[in-house]
Chain A
Amino acid sequence: MPKVLVVEDSGSMRAYIRAILEDGATVDAIGACAVTEASSGFEAMRQLPRGPYDLIITDINMGDINGLELIRFVRKSEHHKTTPLLIVSTQHTERDVERGLTLGANGYLPKPFTADQLRDTVGAVLKGKASK
């Protein structure tokens, strides 16, 4: 079962993402995911050793450790450097998103997104990993 780490400081956004990933339609399309939530960059640091994860979904605009710093950390780490990373952020932060992609994030999904958009993107990223 693919393990997904969701790093996002908004509780309802996390709940929304989790709901979509655990939804029947997602299970049918890409199989069941085990979702781990982290409410901040630090919480993500705590959850990372419990990995490895098959996908990390992260927001950028978070207090303290921001999403970009998390992406750099993940890409530098021996254990997680190949873990696919997906940025979820509003369109407002295009420069930050671009930086995140430069730092090694694999994809970007602008908020707000629909269940189908998230499902397809996550499916694509996971499949991309499997085909490697």
Chain B
Amino acid sequence: MTDQGGGSGRGPIDRAREDFFPEAQELVDGLGRDLLAIDENLKTGRNDPELINDVFRAVHTLKGLSGLFGAALMSGLSHELEDVLDELRLGRIELSSEVLDLVFRAVDLYSKLLASERGDLPEPTVEVRALLNALGHITQRGSAAGANPVVQYELDPGLLGVLTEYEEHRLRTNIQSGFRLYKMRVRFSLATIDTALDELKSKTRSHGEIITYLPTGDASDGDTLELEILIASRESIALLKAAIEAHDLQIEEVPRRSSRASSPAMPAPMPPTRAMPSEFPSIPVAGFDVEAHTSMAHVRAPSIAPQSIAPPADRDVSLRSVSQTVRVDIRKLDHLMNIVGELAIVRTAMFEIIEKVRARPGMRDLSAELQRLHRTFERHLGQMQSGILEVRMVPLGQAFDKLARIVRQISREHDKQVNLVITGAETEIDKLIVEELSDPLMHMIRNSIDHAIETREERVQVGKPPVGTIAVNAFQKGNQVVIEVEDDGRGMDLERIATAAIRLGMLTAEEVKELPQREILSLVFRPGFTTRDVATGTSGRGVGMDVVKTNIAKLGGIVDISSEVGIGTKMTITLPITLAIISVLMVEVGGRTYAVPLTSIEEAIAFDEGLVRSFEGREVMTQRGATLPVCRLRKHFGHDTDALSSRRMARRSGFVVIASVGERRIGFVVDRLVGQQDIVIKALGKSLSKVRGFAGATELGDQRVALVLDVAALIEEVLSTSLEMRTLTLGSAS
């Protein structure tokens, strides 16, 4: 972005620019939701002009903001789009699915434009140009305004004078549709006006359209506000009264004029031109030629309106804003969370000092007092931590909104009808996880539509409903969030996957024979896997599912897959609720301390060397009747190359920490259990980020650092090595 305002460094204007991204993103997200609702209306033949106006206003704001903050490409797109939307809301362009498609394209483009403004992506110049070109081809159907029907009504010119062009258009449209006009007077308390108004709106919605709200200014006492509301409705006044009935509400029908000859009450509508009027009534302020300095600004001397109202009784009345929402940059929350982490270290250090004090003779009272303080500190610290965590939580719905758009787009491309059913959108999860979740979910949905959902004809042939269904279901399960993506498509053909895996040289035919069903299914997550010979427009290029798996694994989660031929496929993502702070079990391995996230621990039991057997090339033990693969962390991390000491350690027994992610389980053999602790997890830094098996590091109270195990990656590593070993053994045995 270019620098505006002439300030160097981080001036106030730069800070204002910081607000630009979140606000623009919010507008774009809202735009997507509104468009989906419009699309739904279009299919069912309903019409909600307010939605189109909302879309217009969002683009209008985006245009203003991008212009202000120097995002030229985005500003250009918004400008064209705004023109189209303006014509659309004023009824000069017909709303068709073709037009809607273009606007949908713009929403996706906005996300790219924002990313490019942040420097994350190159400028999508070509795409913007293509869309601008397409927008330019939308044809107008000519002005909808003929003779102005509004003059037939006895409307106060004062009221007509404050209608915006859009409101005037809605008024005309409603009159042309034969609706009646009503004028409603309501008095609201200023403190509660937002909720009261929302209530009124929802009551009115099913009976008519609110054209405008006009504060009357009569007897305004500073506490209450009287509004005159213009409503168009097909209902009779009695019905309307019954429906909207409220305290302090008067409603009357606006009568038609008896004669058409009466003077027009409002200025004739402007012709649909986009040119600026040649001249504004502008008078330069005395002694100051404004226009010389600000070529675009028009300034007039203050004029005094003829009407006047009684002075407010109490001018010092204090009215608090009812809006109580604050938007916060997530990095600020990260910072707060880091401070909490530092405080936790202080707390641990403090505890050690208290222990020392207690050990001294004659310090008993003092140490008891210190201990009480320490407990209070610990409690408040815990509350602070959970408070910050709560702020980071956002509903998953944010990630799901985009999916609905994708489904619409891809199913059109593939000419397949797909119904997306989302449940559990309100399930809350860490904001950072939501951000990273969109891409993998999108890939999964693309895959489902491309590979799983059959064409309409195929579906009818096998007796399925012609419209396919993809169900996305989210719910919380303990400290984890589970997202299931289930389709009712053709299911995954094990044979076909196996054949493809052999063709791609991943496995030999013999190896495949020995694989259990689930492991064959999980072959689709291997890099480079594809069953397609020819790549289609969307998935099937051999990138996709392995990327999904990697992305989910980065978030500390895992993807599982189950499928039945002819019935459908279910992919299950299991994720931690937050990334910021985790409860861990501290364990000792080879004299070093490691942290194992509690979310993935089932239990810890004493290790008995005698229970370990060798089964199909890997070490396993039987636990509660189930076979559990065992991983000796000491050996895995290479803490003892000396076989003798290994055996000596083994004899000293130890513990097995049983961990699971999704449906996979493993037993980690450790030397000692240290205890449970809440830690703030820190990234390993760029140079170490490629080391597998560790999710990060954390500071311990005594200035030491402990590595945090990435259980999902470790399970993956251990199971896949043993799988390779097994297939190797089997291969040589046959």
Contacts and interface: CB of A to CB of B under 8 A. Distances in A.
A93 B299 contact: no
Contacts of B60: 61, 90, 92
Given A19-B15, A46-B321, A77 B220 contact: yes
Interface in B259-315: 270, 274, 276-277, 280-281, 285-288, 290, 293-294, 296-305, 307-312, 315
Given A12-B20, A94-B276, 6 more contacts: A13-B68, A23-B7, A42-B225, A76-B308, A91-B276, A127-B287
A121 B64 contact: no
A5 B468 CA distance: 54
A111 B68 contact: yes
B57 A63 contact: yes
Interface of B: 4-7, 11-13, 15-17, 19-20, 23-24, 57, 60-61, 63-65, 67-69, 75, 82-83, 86, 158, 161-165, 167, 190, 193-194, 197, 212-215, 217, 220, 222, 225, 270, 274, 276-277, 280-281, 285-288, 290, 293-294, 296-305, 307-312, 315, 317-319, 321, 323, 327
Contacts, number: 241
B422 to A, nearest CB: 27
Nearest to A75: B305
A12 B294 contact: no
A128 B302 contact: yes
A98 B16 contact: no
Contacts of B312: 49, 78-79
A72 to B, nearest CB: 5
Given A45-B225, A107-B299, A101 B162 contact: no
Nearest to B78: A90
B161 A43 contact: no
A72 B222 contact: no
Contact of B217 (A15, A39, A73, A114): A73
Given A60-B164, A72-B158, A109-B294, A101 B281 contact: yes
A70 to B, nearest CB: 8
15 contacts: A23-B7, A45-B193, A73-B214, A76-B308, A77-B220, A92-B83, A95-B165, A96-B165, A103-B162, A108-B298, A111-B67, A115-B4, A124-B299, A128-B288, A132-B301
Contacts of A70: 215
Given A39-B323, A106-B301, A121-B294, A72 B285 contact: no
Given A49-B312, A66-B212, A128-B285, A19 B16 contact: yes
A83 B165 CA distance: 25
Contacts of A125: 285, 299
A101 B300 contact: yes
Interface in A6-45: 9-13, 15-16, 18-20, 22-23, 25, 39, 41-43, 45
A83 to B, nearest CB: 8
A10 B65 contact: yes
B302 A132 contact: yes
B286 A43 contact: no
A79 B158 CA distance: 20
Given A49-B312, A114-B5, A120-B293, A102 B161 contact: yes
A95 B69 CA distance: 26
A107 B270 CA distance: 21
A2 interface: no
Given A92-B274, A96-B165, A112-B64, A124 B288 contact: yes
B17 A82 contact: no
Contacts of A92: 60, 82-83, 86, 274
A121 B86 contact: no
A-B CB proximity, top 3 nearest: A112-B67, A75-B305, A128-B285
**Chain B interface, >50% SS class:** loop
A69 B309 contact: no
Contacts of A112: 64, 67-68, 75
A86 B86 CA distance: 24
Contact of A18 (B16, B194, B220, B286): B16
Contacts of A81: 304-305, 308
Interface string A51-78: 0000000001101111011111101111
Interface residues of A, number: 80
A23 B305 contact: no
A62 B72 CA distance: 24
A119 to B, nearest CB: 9
Contacts of A77: 217, 220, 308-309
Contact of A9 (B61, B68, B296): B61
Of B68, B302, B304, most buried by chain A (CB within 10 Å of CB) is: B302
A106 B276 CA distance: 18
Contact of B290 (A18, A73, A124): A124
A99 B162 contact: yes
Contacts of A90: 60, 63-64, 82
Of A10, A95, A101, most buried by chain B (CB within 10 Å of CB) is: A10
Of B5, B317, B318, most buried by chain A (CB within 10 Å of CB) is: B5
Of B162, B212, B280, B286, most buried by chain A (CB within 10 Å of CB) is: B162
A61 to B, nearest CB: 6
A10 B516 CA distance: 57
Contacts of A64: 197, 213
B300 A107 contact: yes
Contacts of B321: 43, 46
Contact of B285 (A60, A85, A127): A127
Nearest to B275: A94
Given A16-B68, A117-B294, A117-B296, A46 B190 contact: yes
A69 B16 contact: no
A23 B13 contact: yes
A105 B312 CA distance: 22
Nearest to B285: A128
A12 B17 contact: yes
B280 A108 contact: yes
Contact of B302 (A95, A99, A129): A129
A41 B215 CA distance: 10
B299 A98 contact: no
